[in-house]
Each structure stands twice: as C-alpha cells, then as structure tokens.
C-alpha cells in the first residue's frame, strides 16, 4: 500500500472509532477519588502545558481560586506564596483524561463527571459548568461569591444529580446531543435544548429520590436558569469518545484541540500524546455591554474538543440563534460549515444539521487538508476578560502554525 492508502485506511479507522464510541455518564465523584494520579495538590488547567509565569491572568486567577477552594490557602496572597514554593502541581486537564471549560481549573475535591465510553471501556472526566451566576472560576473570577457557589455545586447540586444518575444506571449522552442539534443547539456555546433534555431525563428519578425536596427544587431551578449547563457533560463525553482514536499509526486526524489563553494546542492520532501549538487567537463576536475587544483575553478552554467531533463551530448552522447573535447570518453560517467540510474527511451521520437538509456534521479534521487549504478550524466559544470574567461570545480560528508543525512531524515520522 502507498503511504496515501495507509493514511486513508488509518483515517477510516479513526472515524469508525469516533462514531462507535458510546459515552455514558456514570457517576459524579470528587476528582481525587476517581481521576488516576490526581492528588490533593494537583491543579488541572485547560489547554496545552504551560508554566505558571506564562499563563494568562484569567487562568492564574482561577488557579488562585482553586487553591482557596481546596483550603490550601486562605487568601490570594497566601495562594501566591504556595505557588512560588512549588507546593502545587500544574497539569493540563487533558493529561488526566479530563477536560475543563475556559480556564479549566479542576482541583482535588471538586466533583467531576465520570463518563465511560461503553464501547472501548475508557473513562473521561469534567467538572460542573458553574452555570449563570455572572462570576465563575472558569471565567477567571475567584472571589468569595465564586468559592461559595463552588461549594454549593459540591454540597447541594452534586448529591442531587448523583442520585438521579445512579438510579438511572448511567445516562447515554449521544442521543441527547443528537436531539439537541435538532433543537437549535450547536452543543458548544448553546446547550439550551441539551440542558432541557437532560432535566427531562433526570426528573422522574429525582422525584422518587429520598433527598430533601427543597434541595431538589433549588437544584432544578439552578439547572433551568443555567441553560449552558449540559456543555461540560458533552465535553467529557467527547473526550471519552476521542481518546481511543489516539495513536492509530498513519492517521492524520486531529484528536484534541485545546487552548490555555496563550497557546492553541492540537494532538494528531498517529502522533499520540504530543502537543503541537501555535498562538491562541482573538475571539470575534458579541460583547456584553461596557466591554470591547481591547478587554478580551485570547481563545481559551478545552471546550474546543466539541469541534473535534463536528459540534460547536463545525455545526454552527444548527444554531441560528448563535450564528446570528454573534453577528452572522444563516448564509454565513452555512458558508463557515462549507469551509469545515473542506478540512474534514467524513460526515457525522449521528449528528445532523437540520438547516443543511440534515447533512452530517463535518467530522475528522485532517491536518493535511488544513495545511493544504489554509482553512483552520472555527471554534464557537465564549470570551473571557483578560483579567477574568465573562464578557462575550464569538468565533475564533485555530492557528495554522500548530497544523503545520504537526504535518512536518508526521512527514518526518513516516518518511514522506
């Protein structure tokens, strides 16, 4: 077989693995109890590896908040000292089979989703989306209000959701994503339908649970108010689905996209766990009142894993609300997707786009096609303030550089 044939065969295999994955939300447990190698002082963050001193301010703020939440320090100034003395370990979430939204800070006692890929047996993790209070650790806020809400998520929301998930013996995530795509979610920046469908799935069990009714009501009110909540379950589900697609010899397909607000990193199937990075881009879109692009941090978070499976920016025409809210039209959304079809090798027939007469979402980003066309993945994402805080929502493009680096390494490895 020629190299090209070997690549095509390998890419078919990767697509097959991605389509066969069956993510099941199995439990919600403290990170330290379930994530292998997690320790009391491990602090996970989004994106490719980065040193503390190089991190953007939003991510640093979130880490300080994480240290306070873990009661490793009582104040930001004490947290800085601990960091200076190297008493905490930083790692990308991805190195712990985990994905984190925006700043992506996940610490030991934080409850995480345990999502099993029933087809391949592997497990992936993510923490709760903090929902729609204005401030949140994942946006890079870290004050008392944020810490108090994190404790509420841990102490109130988690037992409530866990009760439903344990009773239902696991929640299949794929069918909810598929249905949500047909209800105006692109399943990254908009998860309104996904969250409503999730609520529908859990309530018959919640009603029968022994948990105090007031706590159930408060939890449901939070979920209903926080119509982006389902995103982190989707993210963990996709992480579990793409993980077995790693390490397929000759495959040129992207298995991970993640940003830390400084660098955008990708992994490519044939090249295993190695990161290829380029600079994080600006996010162009809609700002909350009082903010503009000069306040914005750069593209950040592990949520760009959704695009790897054809969701988010790759399914933008599924969500007219998002497409148009962020300054586009249905035509520009369809055109954006046409670009994404050019850099992918397949279509995800499990995830279809109503607006495009139910065509499958573009699936399997091929680094060769990205370099050849110069078209890089579109990420449909939130905008964090450079010092932390949610200030808008828009579109970012992955930098070409990381694809070029990956392709160069690929060619070297396979002597092309």
**Residues engaged in binding a second copy (CB under 8 A):** 182-184, 192-193, 196-197, 199-200, 203-204, 206-208, 213-214, 216-217, 220-221, 224, 320-321, 324, 329-330, 354-358
CB of 292 to a second copy, least distance (A): 24
| Closer CB to a second copy, 102 or 202, in the complex | 202
Contacts of 273 (CB under 8 A, 6+ apart): 95, 246, 267
Kind of pairing, strands 254-260 and 263-268? antiparallel
- Pick the closer one to a second copy by CB: 11 or 195: 195
- Give the integer Cα–Cα distance in Å for 326 and 204: 36
CB of 157 to a second copy, least distance (A): 14
- Sign, CA dihedral 190-157-146-100, equals negative
CB of 228 to a second copy, least distance (A): 14
Residues ≥6 apart with Cβ < 8 Å to 329:
323
Q: Rounded to an integer, what distance in angstroms lies between the CA atom of residue 363 and that of residue 228?
A: 23
Q: Which helix (H) or strand (E) holds 260?
A: strand 254-260
CA–CA separation, 341 vs 361, rounded Å?
A: 8
Whichever of 89 and 207 has its CB closer to a second copy, that residue is 207
Answer for the pair 191, 229: CB distance below 8 angstroms, yes or no.
yes
E runs forming strands in 261-343: 263-268, 276-279, 284-287, 300-301
Residue nearer to a second copy on the CB measure, 82 or 356: 356
Least CB distance to a second copy at residue 320 (A): 3
- As measured in angstroms, the least distance from the Cβ of 399 to a second copy is 31
Region class of 389: left (phi > 0), else alpha (psi between -120 and 50), else beta: left
Return the number of the residue (89 or 224) whose C-beta is nearest a second copy: 224
> Which lies closer to a second copy via its Cβ, residue 206 or residue 340?
206
- State which residue, 15 or 160, has the beta carbon closest to a second copy: 160
In whole angstroms, the minimum distance from the beta carbon of 287 to a second copy comes to 20
Q: Smallest distance from the beta carbon of 205 to a second copy, in angstroms?
A: 8
Burial (CB count within 10 angstroms: exposed 0-12, middle 13-18, buried 19+), residue 57: middle
Residue 56 — φ and ψ, nearest 5°? -75, 160
28 versus 164: smaller Cβ distance to a second copy: 164
165: CB partners within 8 A, 6+ apart: 25, 26, 27, 28, 171, 202
Give least dist CB 134 to a second copy, A.
22
Asked whether 165 and 159 are in contact (CB, 8 A), the reply is no
SS3 18: helix
> Minimum distance between the CB of residue 210 and a second copy, rounded to whole angstroms?
10
Closest CB to a second copy among residues 117, 195: 195
């Amino acid at each position: 077989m020629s190299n090209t044939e070997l690549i095509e065969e390998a890419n078919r295999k990767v697509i097959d693995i991605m389509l066969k994955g069956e993510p099941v939300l199995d439990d919600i447990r403290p990170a330290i109890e379930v994530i292998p190698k997690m320790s009391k002082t491990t602090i996970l963050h989004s994106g490719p590896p980065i040193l503390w001193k190089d991190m953007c301010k939003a991510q640093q703020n979130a880490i300080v908040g994480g240290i306070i939440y873990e009661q490793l320090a009582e104040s930001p100034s004490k947290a800085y000292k601990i960091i200076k003395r190297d008493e905490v370990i930083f790692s990308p979430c991805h190195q712990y089979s985990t994905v984190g939204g925006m700043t992506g800070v996940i610490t030991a006692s934080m409850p995480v989703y345990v999502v099993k890929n029933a087809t391949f047996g592997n497990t992936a993790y993510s923490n709760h989306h903090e929902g729609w209070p204005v401030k949140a650790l994942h946006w890079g806020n870290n004050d008392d209000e944020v810490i108090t809400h994190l404790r509420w998520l841990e102490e109130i929301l988690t037992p409530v959701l866990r009760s439903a998930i344990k009773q239902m013996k696991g929640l299949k995530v794929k069918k909810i994503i598929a249905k949500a795509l047909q209800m105006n979610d692109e399943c990254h920046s908009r998860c309104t339908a996904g969250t409503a469908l999730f609520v529908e799935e859990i309530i018959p069990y919640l009603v029968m649970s022994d948990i105090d009714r007031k706590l159930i009501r408060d939890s449901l009110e939070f979920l209903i108010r926080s119509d982006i909540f389902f995103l982190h379950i989707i993210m963990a589900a996709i992480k579990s689905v793409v993980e077995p697609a790693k390490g397929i010899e000759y495959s040129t397909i992207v298995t991970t996209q993640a940003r830390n607000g400084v660098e955008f990193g990708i992994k490519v199937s044939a090249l295993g766990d190695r990161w290829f990075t380029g600079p994080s881009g600006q996010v162009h879109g809609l700002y909350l009142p009082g903010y503009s692009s000069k306040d914005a941090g750069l593209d950040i978070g592990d949520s760009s894993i959704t695009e790897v499976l054809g969701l988010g920016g790759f399914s933008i025409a599924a969500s007219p609300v998002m497409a148009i809210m962020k300054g586009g039209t249905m035509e520009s959304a369809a055109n954006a997707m046409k670009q994404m079809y050019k850099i992918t090798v397949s279509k995800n027939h499990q995830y279809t786009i109503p607006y495009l007469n139910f065509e499958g979402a573009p699936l399997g980003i091929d680094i060769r096609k990205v370099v050849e066309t110069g078209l890089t993945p579109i990420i449909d994402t939130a905008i964090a303030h450079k010092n932390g805080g949610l200030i808008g929502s828009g579109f970012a493009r992955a930098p070409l550089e990381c694809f070029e680096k990956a392709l160069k390494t690929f060619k070297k490895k396979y002597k092309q």
